[in-house]
Amino acid sequence: MNSAERIFCVIASSNGSSGVGGHYFSAITIVQELKKRYVVDFINAGDFYAESLSSSSVESSFIPVSLKCISEGRRVLLNRLHQFSPDVVLAFDVMAGLIVRPLSIKAKCGFVLLKAGGDIPLSYYPRSRFQIHFTERDVTWAQSRVMGTPSLIKWIPNRVSLPVIDFQAIEELRKEIDIRPEELVVIRIGRITEYYRKAFEASFQLKEFIQSSGLNARLLVIGDIESSELAEELRARCDSRDVVLTDKRWTRSASRLLPIATINVGVGRGFMEGCSVKHFMFCVDRSSDLPVPVTDENLSVFFRSNFSLRASLPCSEAERKSKIQDLLLKMTSTENGCEYSFRWYERYFSSEKIPESYGPILRLASENVEKWNGDALIGELYVRTYELQSQLKRLVPNKLMKSLKLKLRQAKARS
C-alpha cells in the first residue's frame, strides 16, 4: 500500500489567461495517470472553468475562487477538501498553491507545489518543502531557497500520452489544403501568441532553408489566436502553399493531426508529442533564428529546459545548416520516420511512468503534513494584500485612487 492514497489536485484559472495553455493539458495527463494508482479529485479553482478541462474526458470540477475576494471560494474548496479527506494536495501552479496551501494546513495533509515551466519568478514564489519542476535548472534555484526538513525538490520532466490519431480528419485536411505526395510538410502547432513568436518565425526560416536546398517544402501552422496582430503577420509571410489554420475544427486536439507532417518545430509538450509519431524534430534556441535538428548528441541541452525557447546551443550558423542538410539526406532515404525520436518518447516522455516518478514525493509529503511557517504566512499575506487592494479599487473612485497614489509618491520623494 502507498502512504499517499488520496490526492487532491488543484489547478488555477485567472482572468487574463486563455484556459488552453500547455500546463492544463499536462495536468490532465498527470491526473489521468495518477488515477491508475491513487484516488484523485481534480479541481479547477479560479475565475472561470478552463476550456481545456471542461472539454476533457478526464473528470474535473470547477469551484469559483477569486483572489479579489478569496474567503468565500475557499470555504467551498475547504468543504470539498474535508469531504474528500486527501493524504496530499498537489497544486499545479503558484496561484493554485496560494489558494489551497492554507487549506491543506487546516485539513492536516501534505502539500506539493508543481512548477510547469516559465522563467524564474521575480515576484513571490512559495518556498514549500515539496516541489516538482519540469525544468532541471529550476531545481537548483528552488533548493537554495528552502531550509526546512524533511524536504524533497525534484526535477520530473513533463510527459505526454500517445496522441489519438484521427485518420479521417487527416484525410479531409490533406484534400482541403491540397498536400501533394512529393511535399515535405513542416508543422508548428501552438497558440498564436507573442510568447511563441520566435518559434513561428523559426518555422518559416526552416521551411525557406529547405526550399533553398532544392526540396519541395511547405509550412503548416495550427493554433488558436491569442494575438491577432501576430496571426496577420504570419499569414502575410505565407507563400502560396503555406497555411495558417486557426479554426476550432482543426485546433481542438491538434495532436490528432500530427501524421500529416514529417518535420516538426516543437516547443514544450509539443516536442514530446512530435516524437511519439516519429517526426524529425527541430528545436528553437536563443542563439539563432534558424532552428536546429535535435539528435542524441544535443537532446540533453533542450531537455533540461523542458524544450522551451530558453535553451542555448553553442552552434554556428554554418554548422546548423550543415546539420539540416545531413538530416534532409537521411529523411529522403527512409520511409519509416525518425526512429530515434520515437525511442526518446518511449524512454523519456511516455506518460506511463508518471505514477512511478511522482510516488516518492507524494509519499514523503503525505508523511509530513503541511504546517504554518514563515513562508506560508508570507504567502497568505501576499494573497490578503491583493484582496484588500482589489476591494479598495471597487470602493474608492478611480480619480481619488490616482490622487492618493500621486500624493504618496510626492510624500515619498520629499522624504
- Residue 404's pLDDT band, with cuts at 50, 70 and 90, is low
- 16-45: pLDDT as tens digits: 777 888 899 999 999 999 999 999 999 999
Please name the residue that has the C-alpha cell 525518425. Answer: 338
Which pLDDT belongs to residue 69?
Answer: 86
Burial of residue 4 (CB within 10 Å: 0-12, 13-18, 19+) is buried
What is the rounded CA–CA span in Å between residue 270 and residue 158?
11
DSSP 8-state class, residue 162: P
Which pLDDT belongs to residue 52?
Answer: 93
Q: Say how far residue 349 (Cα) sits from the centre of its chain.
A: 14
DSSP 8-state class, residue 306: T
Which pLDDT belongs to residue 152?
Answer: 97
Average predicted confidence (pLDDT) for the chain: 92
Q: Which of 77, 79, 18 is CA-nearest to residue 44?
A: 77
What is the rounded CA–CA span in Å between residue 50 and residue 155?
26
Domain 6-159+352-392, what fold? Rossmann fold (3.40.50)
- 60-69: pLDDT as tens digits: 999 999 988 8
In this chain, the answer to whether the domains covering 6-159+352-392 and 167-349 adopt an identical fold is yes
**Count of all residues that appear for the chain in the document:** 415
What is the rounded CA–CA span in Å between residue 99 and residue 96?
5
- Residue 276's pLDDT band, with cuts at 50, 70 and 90, is very high
- Residue 412's pLDDT band, with cuts at 50, 70 and 90, is low
> Is the pTM here over 0.85, yes or no?
yes
- 180-235: pLDDT as tens digits: 999 999 999 999 999 999 999 999 999 999 999 999 999 999 999 999 999 999 99
Where do the structural domains in the chain lie, given as residue ranges? 6-159+352-392, 167-349
- 340-364: pLDDT as tens digits: 999 999 999 999 999 999 999 999 9
Which pLDDT belongs to residue 2?
Answer: 52
User: Kind of pairing, strands 110-115 and 280-283?
Assistant: unpaired
Q: Across the strands, what pairs with 66?
A: 69
- What percent of the chain has pLDDT above 90? 80
- Residue 1's pLDDT band, with cuts at 50, 70 and 90, is very low
- 78-116: pLDDT as tens digits: 999 999 999 999 999 999 999 999 999 999 999 999 999
Q: Which of 110, 113, 147 is CA-nearest to residue 132?
A: 113
Which top CATH class is 167-349? alpha beta
Query: How many other C-beta atoms can be found within 10 angstroms of the C-beta atom of residue 214?
Result: 7
What is the rounded CA–CA span in Å between residue 45 and residue 99?
8
- Position with higher pLDDT, 15 vs 140: 140
Q: Which of 150, 98, 58, 107 is CA-nearest to residue 382?
A: 98
- 286-315: pLDDT as tens digits: 989 999 999 999 999 999 999 999 999 988
Which residues fall within 8 angstroms of residue 102, CB to CB, at 6 or more apart?
74, 376, 379, 380
Which pLDDT belongs to residue 76?
Answer: 95
